[in-house]
Structure 1
Amino acid sequence: MEESFVPFGGIKNDIKGRLKCYKQDWTSGLSAGFRILAPTTYIFFASAIPVISFGEQLERDTDGVLTAVQTLASTALCGIIHSIIGGQPLLILGVAEPTVIMYRFMFDFAKNRPDLGSQLFLAWTGWVCVWTAILLFLLAILGACSIINRFTRLAGELFGLLIAMLFMQQAIKGLVDEFHIPERENPKSVDFQLSWRFANGMFAMVLSFGLLFTALRSRKARSWRYACGSLRGFVADYGVPLMVLVWTAVSYIPAGTIPKGIPRRLFSPNPWSPGAYENWTVVKDMLKVPVLYIIGAFVPATMIAVLYYFDHSVASQLAQQKEFNLRKPPSFHYDLLLLGFLTILCGLIGIPPANGVIPQSPMHTKSLATLKHQLLRNGLVTTARQFIHKNASLGQVYERMQEAYQQMQTPLVYQEPSARGLKELKESTIEMASNMENINAPVDESVFDIEKEINDLLPIEVKEQRLSNLLQATMVGGCVAAMPLIKKIPTSVLWGYFAFMAIESLPGNQFWERMLLLFTALSRRYKGVPCHFCRNRTIQNNCHVHDIPNHILVCLFRDYLGSGRRGSFPIDDHAFGSCETICFAQVFQRGTPSRFGCRRVRRIPGCTIQPYNRRRAG
């Protein structure tokens, strides 16, 4: 993204770039056929379940003024609009926990004001949304999103790691609460007796850990040695949603022998219940809010605008990481402008606004990367086998595969063509054939293992389209009408899914993967940082990652001692200087060769190079 602080300059560039590929966004999704349902259902559950949980939390915090019906409606409405006219279709919108927290603070403020109260709470939040939208308009028009380029990958990954920790914290907190009496419940009820509370908590742990374990295992079903390939693929694509249904069914096994409230299930009013639709006409009450509170709404609006600016932009940035090899331009400025309009819309109809969410957005991109890999793999395997059966030579097979590969690519290429995988495939296969002295002979699968080679070397690409986002948002909207069925899901299944989302968002986070090296045995560090969505073998084999733990510890140690806290340690200045010098020398001596190369390092006086130890375990 080019930096553009000219008013309307960034928005103009975003609209121009996305209009060029708007038609292809739809045709690409339709061309995937029924396969698009796999990432759609995967991201639908990842989007709907947290929103339902946040809706329950809002209901407790706002005394029933806002419920899961409103959070689902907001997520569906904003998601549908963004998928149709938004800039970046990979970005998933939803009601996030920071929004829930801000609404709780605003409700606590409003209910204690006699001239505002809970009756005008939604009308006042409407003014908060208006101020928030104005600030978002200014940020988008003035090109504030250009600062996103200054955000390093570390900043985005730290934020993503924080969100993952919050999801895990929510899962643990929810499991602990299963052993306690919920708020606003009758403590004298039979199912809240000590023995039944303990039984409910233990059963909740079984359901939560059962869902977590089976969901994680189902994501790796393609590498199983059991069952046929189509069944393994089905489990990998739809296993997580199926596990939610399976463990919900398991929760009904002891029905009839235990109190009705065990296990605890979701609670939310139906959308057709009396009073459930009063918030939709909140716009008529906005003029009843005193002028002082209309002006004062600017204060929480400022905090929400800053929060949305950072959260929305980072979510979009994480969904467009470099290793995904996206071929279409970003749209940070225009998406922020559209978010302002969506915020006003949500405020006028009395529902909490939605914004770009983490980890759902990068999870969406990863699921589409898996889909694109399957489509390319199946097409190339079919082409290769077709010409191998015609006794074609290796060169002919490669040429046909290259033609098929180019035909499956989008013509809107904004990056270098990602044909590296096929180039490596050609080189490795020709080398193997040369060793067998039959390079011009017809190719058979003893020389050319079609599925293995293509699966390992095919470059990572993403099926960039709008259909999956539109379908998942529509399905979230369908949850509003299906609320009686959703209320049958145990809350413990939600906590297990929260933990699954936290763990599922960690692969690909380079900060997390490098932190794991602190606990990796020295003899195993030659494997380097795992690159789940980057199959560049050269990078994996040549990364000098065995010193990364030392670098992390030295940086943390030096920053801590150098930030004015030396008095906290019984270390004098001479000892501190010696320690710092030794640590820096260790980092420079061992870390510099991998950055600057051996020839340049040899010219530095007093610097020696230690050979890289590639010994294997065992």
Structure 2
Amino acid sequence: MTEAEAVIRNESGYITHTAKKDFGPLEFTGKIAGGLRLDIRRRAPLYLSDWTDAFKSQNIQKTVSSVLYLFIAALAPAITFGSRFLDGTKGQFGVLEMIMSSAISGMLFSTFAGQPLSILGATGPFLAYTLVVFEMAEGADLEFMPFYFWVCMWCSLFTILVAVFDLCALMKHVTMFSEDIFAGLISLIFIIDGVTPLIRNFSDGQMSLTNAMFEALLFLYTFGLASYLSHFRRTPWLLRPIRNLMANFAVTIALLTASALAALYSSDTSLRMLTVDAEFAPALSLSDGSKRPWIVNPAGIDRPFPAWAIAYAIIPSIGFAVLGYLDQNLTSVIVNRPSNGLQKGPGYHLDLFVRGALTLPACAVLGLPLSVASTVPSITHVISLTTYEVKQLPQGETKVPSKVVEQRATNFLIHVLIGCALFLAPVLKFLPRSVLQGVFFYMGIASLTGNNLFDRLFLWMIWDSSKYPQYNYIQKLPIKRVHLYTFVQVICLAILYGLKAIKETSVVFPFFMASLAIIRKAMVYMFTAEELQLLDSAAEEEEDEVEAPDLLNLDGKVQTQEDADKKEEETSI
């Protein structure tokens, strides 16, 4: 596994032989690029099968269904995030750039990464921090695109250094305490950013009441229909394959039907539509009225870029590097959990190196929003490629993964199709912004499900203790201790969101996010080891109680047998 050797001595003190030490995927090797080399050595012999396994006769059906399903599941958020980037950066980049970023980053990552089942795309924290970088550029009177180029290139360097020096091993200190707060931040960004423009329609007076009401109705229709259809498979209506199809494409159906509804009344209303040029060109218009070139000039586009700003770009680049480290590795940890049944092994250092050496420079040169491993699409990708079997356990039957089609082809083809969606630009301009806000809001509400922090937070609204869900920690701990632990997490989440939302402090919120692991370490002074074990590793404890791996839901939590039954239905397209 590695060249590191442990010297073995006999009773007389003489060397008798040496033994090679095996390093795990998240261990420090003590050598430059030691973990990276081990990742390459682990995955290289499997590289050919990573492409051919997808097209074996027994796997081709899952391959095709996974590609079609994940294409739509990844394209809808890309369009939605693109609209948010367009608004937040005042037209510096938008929908086409976001689609292109997802396509290029995904194809590069799926070709060279250590864990090609991870799906790359935009995430809430990256959206928020990109807007922070834009405000920093505006505050310093700098052109955003050249400044963004240097931020991405510095981030590329730092990300490569993190991979080379085995710093992914630090993820061993990140527990469910930090994961739940990080997931909570993503949910809050989706929810608040989704509903805020709708509220402004009524408060700023720039839109007529009729149009504001109609946009509100489209928002509610999109959110309501997507929520209903996502659970449609559990209804008695229609045949199961049809129910599964409608549930799997719930967001797409809601988006298309809401847009069609808006088109019916387009002559009577004046809705805000998605801004997309019919031609294949960047969103940014230069001072002479022309579109910027696709290749960003790091020395300045409309005016010379000052040399001091190259050094100034280091500050936000560190924040981007920290965010990328957390986003990428948290998703990878969830994807690679033993209960998912993967056999080919992870490649944490290699994944980060590919981002730093390939995807980040590509986005910098082309002036694209950054893409990173996105948790929900990644876990959905794994589930769609998994075959389950029923096993008898002492507590009854349960379904466990029996086979996962581990390969690179589905990820590559998904992002090829996303790239082809660039030719849909003339159609995308008919999407109302309120519909996209409804999708954004739905993503936030849906991501609350399975978050341990919000599960415990909902306990605050239950006054009768006999009505509490029978979680393991509730049965074994005083409820006051559970509430205290939740309160600490809520305070951390509030500080994190406050740092992001306040312009003067927004640049430092990734660093507070990284400090959550330190805060968790310090909680040994507030809770006993037994209490922390129960509250901070609920998923792992449930896992230990069974003799075979359980399924994971979209947030990486172990499921019950009932949930597993539902999930098997969800994987059939």
With normalisation by structure 1, the TM-score equals: 0.66
Q: Which moved more, 1:481-490 or 1:287-296?
A: 287-296
Q: Secondary structure at the match of 1:422?
A: strand
Contact kept? 1:96, 1:355, Cα under 8 Å: yes
2:40 partner amino acid: I
Q: Gaps spanning 5+ residues in structure 1: where?
A: 378-420, 429-452, 530-541, 561-582, 596-618
Question: What is the identity, as a one-letter code, of the residue corresponding to 1:163?
Answer: I
SS of 1:278's equivalent? coil
* Equivalent in the alignment of 2:157: 134
Q: Distance in 2 between matches of 1:124 and 1:270?
A: 27
User: 86, 102, 110: which one pairs with 1:59?
Assistant: 86
CA-atom RMSD in angstroms: 3.7
**Counterparts of 1:236 and 1:343 in 2: how far apart (Å)?**
34
Q: Which residue of structure 2 aligns with residue 536 of structure 1?
A: none
Instruction: Check whether the contact 2:158–2:321 (CA below 8 A) recurs between aligned residues.
Output: yes
Greater Cα shift, 222-231 or 280-289: 280-289
Give yes or no for contact 2:158–2:318 (8 Å, CA) kept in 1.
yes
- Partner residue of 2:148 out of 125, 134, 145: 125
Q: Write the mapping of 1:5-404 to structure 2, written as runs, cut at 5 A.
A: 5-30=30-55, 31-36=58-63, 38-110=65-137, 117-118=142-143, 121-179=144-202, 192=207, 197-256=208-267, 258-259=268-269, 261-262=270-271, 264-272=272-280, 278-283=292-297, 285=299, 289-341=305-357, 342-357=359-374, 361-366=375-380, 368-369=382-383, 372-373=386-387, 376=388
> Which amino acid counterpart does residue 244 of structure 1 have in structure 2?
L
Unmatched 5+ stretches in structure 2: 1-24, 491-525, 539-573
Q: Which has the higher strand share?
A: 2
- For the residue of structure 1 that corresponds to 2:343, the secondary structure is coil
For the 8 Å contact 2:26–2:348, the answer to whether it is kept is no
Amino acid at match of 2:171: I
- For residues 460 and 449 of structure 2, the distance between their equivalents in structure 1, rounded to whole angstroms, comes to 16
Matched residue of 1:174: which SS? helix
Distance 1:62 1:179 in 2: 23
Alignment of 1:550 onto 2:490: no
Cα distance between partner residues in 2 of 1:557 and 1:487: 44
How high is the sequence identity, in percent, across the aligned residues? 25
Distance of 1:144 and 1:558 partners within structure 2: 27
Question: Given the superposition, is the C-alpha separation of residues 152 and 254 from structure 1 closer, same or farther in structure 2, using an over 3 Å criterion?
Answer: same
Give the SS at the match of 2:482.
helix
The one-character-per-residue Cα deviations of 1:550-606 (angstroms, maximum 9, x if unpaired) are 33224468999xxxxxxxxxxxxxxxxxxxxxx999x99xx99xx9xxxxxxxxxxx
State how many pairs are aligned. 462
> Could you say which residue in structure 1 is the equivalent of 2:420?
478
State the shift of 1:109 in Å: 4.6
Q: Say if 1:518 and 1:549, in contact at 8 Å, map to a contact too.
A: no
Cα contact 2:298–2:305 (8 A) shared by 1:
no
**Cross-structure match for 2:516:** none
- How far off its partner does 1:462 sit? 5.2
Conserved in 2, the CA contact under 8 Å of 1:24 and 1:465? Answer: yes
Cα deviation, residue 9, structure 1: 0.9
Give matches, 1:546-585, under 5 Å.
547=477, 549-555=479-485
Q: Secondary structure at the match of 2:238?
A: coil
CA contact (8 A) 2:86 2:94 kept: yes
Structure 2 partner of 1:578: none
TM-score, normalised to structure 2, is 0.70
Give yes or no for contact 2:110–2:412 (8 Å, CA) kept in 1: yes
Matches of 2:489 and 2:71, distance apart in 1: 42
Q: 1:302 to 1:223 in 2, by over 3 A?
A: closer
Structure 2 Cα separation of the partners of residues 129 and 502 of structure 1: 27
C-alpha offsets along residues 166-189 of structure 1, whole Å, 9 cap, x if unaligned? Answer: 11111111322343669xxxx5xx
Alignment check: 8 A CA contact 2:80 2:437 kept:
no
The change in CA–CA distance for 1:44 and 1:96 in structure 2 (over 3 A counts) is same
Q: CA deviation at 1:278?
A: 3.0
Amino acid at match of 2:443: M
Per the alignment, residue 514 of structure 1 pairs with: 456
Q: Describe the SS at the equivalent of 2:293.
A: helix
Distance in 2, Cα, partners of 1:219 & 1:104: 31
